[in-house]
Amino acid sequence: MDNADDNTQSTNARRKTRLTSPRTTLSLLGAVTAALALVCVPAISGTPGGSPFLVEASEDASAGFIGAPRLQSFVWAQWDGKWIFIGGRTGGYHGVGQGDVDFPRAKANQQIWVIEPPASGPAKVYSLPVADLPASLSAVKDQWVSTNLLHFQDKDTLYLVGGYGENSLGEMVTYPLVSSVNLPALVEGVIHGKDTFSKTIAWGESALVQSTGGALAKLDDGLFYLVGGHVFMGSYRSFEAADEKNTTKASQTYLGEIRKLRFTSTRPGTLEVSLVESFKDPEFSRRDLNVVPTILADGKSIGVAAYGGVFTKDQLNFTHPIYMGAASPPKVDDGFEQKMSAYSCATLLLFDPESSGMYTTFFGGISRWRWNHSARQFEKAPTLGDKTKQTDYLDGMPWIDEISTLARRPERTFESVQQDNRLPGYVGANAAFLPAPGLKRIRDGVDILDLRQFRGKRVFAGYLYGGIRAFPKQFPYTDDAPEYTSGNVPTKPSDMILKVYVTAP
């Protein structure tokens, strides 16, 4: 299920009208009109409110990125206008109850990538095998070819935590490792094809950082926050064979907590991890969620927001956001239920200082709800059957191609979906939004963009890169065509690199 070439041509034909429609060449007036026409459903108050901007992501720029890797679930960072990618996978979504279930090393990303996006002409693409790192870093070399690592860029240092994959001994493990690397040195080394940066790598081992599918953040208290995830040991095939019960061959344990950690180094090349505080709540037992920086309710403090994630006891997604700050413990917002994009996906972050509005835009992915564009309303996806019997099985978590925004204003929180402005494919899951250089941020080093710079014009905001591309509809591939059963949807790493534009009135 790692490719879907038989589907691609027909799917592209179905999407062609979106790529060439007048919507993609809107005049300024038309763009602003479309922005005002966004449809939203309020969360609590019952008072309509809309997202104050239009987000477009239909222009495929992949022809300008010859040689760039097709990856999903990877670590990414930016330095000096260049992108850095480590880890992740070169195959599609793992199967359920079928042959392509596991995460073999053969389909792991085994290169360190540096890409310089095009200012004019084609992008410049460089890579260096992880295997070129010295033998003394064997543990790091294993971690850097794993998937679903937690990561955080702290100025010129990239931190990598956990990750799941096949180690050099052939064992499937979640790594109890934290590692870091100096980004300027790494970029310089990869561009010149030489390991001149491994001396800047530090690492350490601790059960406190053993997680995959969670997230890592850092707040103004100087501490790191490890949010959720799980520890998976052994193969998914063995886990399914045991009816998803823990055995000596395969086991799964959700962290069920948010950990406040301190990373220190007492000697070169080493990292030590200590626990400052932990917060436990059944709502924290989630993985494959979106954890992003946010502006907190006071309208000025940088905090962290956690959205979505899986799996609840009924094998569905979590709906209540979690917010936390350096001076405030994690708090679940049980007054709001997010409907769209329940699974890890690319996100665009905007803040309007004038209205104190924080806007988190989600690109596609996997969702508990769909948006009915004809009826202009949310519809809960159906659940049907049993995944042990693949016939007519629907898990209630389909792939979607919508762009949605969760807005937090002082008076209310609500969710909006862009009407008739969809992605050109079922993309976004385990992808990344890479902001364009030169855009004004709310604070240096924080990827929350100032909304005011997009007013009155259509501005290039960045790229939607990587992730999974799914083909959930059968022939003739239209919206009302039959769906593939869950777990049998053809997927592959996304072959599209989409330019993202924002227009605000």
pLDDT score for 157? 98
pLDDT score for 320? 98
Q: Collect contacts of 250-256 with beta carbons under 8 A, ≥24 apart.
A: 250/172, 254/228, 254/229, 254/230, 254/285, 254/286, 254/287, 255/211, 255/214, 255/226, 255/228, 255/229, 255/230, 255/231, 255/284, 255/285, 256/280, 256/281, 256/282, 256/284, 256/285
pLDDT score for 386? 82
pLDDT score for 390? 64
Please report, rounded to a whole number, the percentage of residues in the chain having pLDDT higher than 90.
78
- Range 136-156 average pLDDT: 98
For residue 121, list its beta bridge partners.
none
Is residue 159 within 8 Å of 224, Cβ to Cβ?
yes
Q: How far is CA 191 from CA 97, 124, 144, 502, in A?
A: 42, 9, 18, 32
pLDDT score for 79? 98
Q: How confident is the model at residue 119 (pLDDT cuts 50, 70, 90)?
A: confident
CB atoms < 10 A from the CB of 385, how many?
14
Q: How far is CA 313 from CA 283, 286, 318, 386, 390, in A?
A: 11, 11, 10, 15, 21
Q: How confident is the model at residue 2 (pLDDT cuts 50, 70, 90)?
A: very low
pLDDT value at 16 more than 70: no
412-417 and 399-409 strand pairing: antiparallel
Least confident of 242-246, 289-293, 465-469: 242-246
- Residues 201-212 have pLDDT tens digits of 999 999 999 999
pLDDT value at 92 more than 90: no
- Calpha distance 365→345 (Å, rounded): 6
pLDDT value at 291 more than 90: yes
**Category of 420 on φ-ψ map: left (φ > 0), alpha (ψ -120 to 50) or beta:** left
- Residues 225-267 have pLDDT tens digits of 999 999 999 998 899 889 999 999 999 999 999 999 999 999 9
For residue 328, list its beta bridge partners.
325
- Calpha distance 166→360 (Å, rounded): 34
pLDDT score for 172? 96
- Residues 419-459 have pLDDT tens digits of 889 999 999 999 999 999 999 999 999 999 999 999 999 99
- Calculate ∠ Cα 465-467-469, nearest 5°: 110
pLDDT score for 95? 60
CA 431 from centroid of its chain's CA atoms: 5
Is residue 224 within 8 Å of 241, Cβ to Cβ?
no
Is residue 504 within 8 Å of 454, Cβ to Cβ?
yes
- Range 9-20 average pLDDT: 36
- Residues 148-189 have pLDDT tens digits of 999 999 999 999 999 999 999 999 999 999 999 999 999 999
pLDDT score for 12? 37
pLDDT value at 33 more than 70: no
Is residue 378 within 8 Å of 372, Cβ to Cβ?
yes
346-352 and 446-450 strand pairing: parallel
Query: What radius of gyration do the chain's Cα atoms show?
Result: 22
pLDDT value at 310 more than 70: yes
For residue 483, list its beta bridge partners.
473
Q: How confident is the model at residue 361 (pLDDT cuts 50, 70, 90)?
A: very high
DSSP for 133-164 reads: S-GGGHHHHHHTT-BS-EEEEETTEEEEE--E
The mean pLDDT of the chain is: 89
For residue 166, list its beta bridge partners.
172
pLDDT score for 218? 98
- Range 359-376 average pLDDT: 95
pLDDT score for 51? 66
Q: How confident is the model at residue 391 (pLDDT cuts 50, 70, 90)?
A: confident
pLDDT value at 382 more than 70: yes
Name the nearest CA neighbour of 77 among 447, 399, 340: 447
* Domain extents in the chain: 1-59+337-381+399-505, 74-147+149-280
- Range 304-324 average pLDDT: 97
3-state secondary structure of 426: strand
Taken as a whole, the chain contains a residue count of 505
The pTM for the full model equals: 0.90
Q: How confident is the model at residue 25 (pLDDT cuts 50, 70, 90)?
A: very low
- Residues 323-351 have pLDDT tens digits of 999 999 999 999 999 999 999 999 999 99
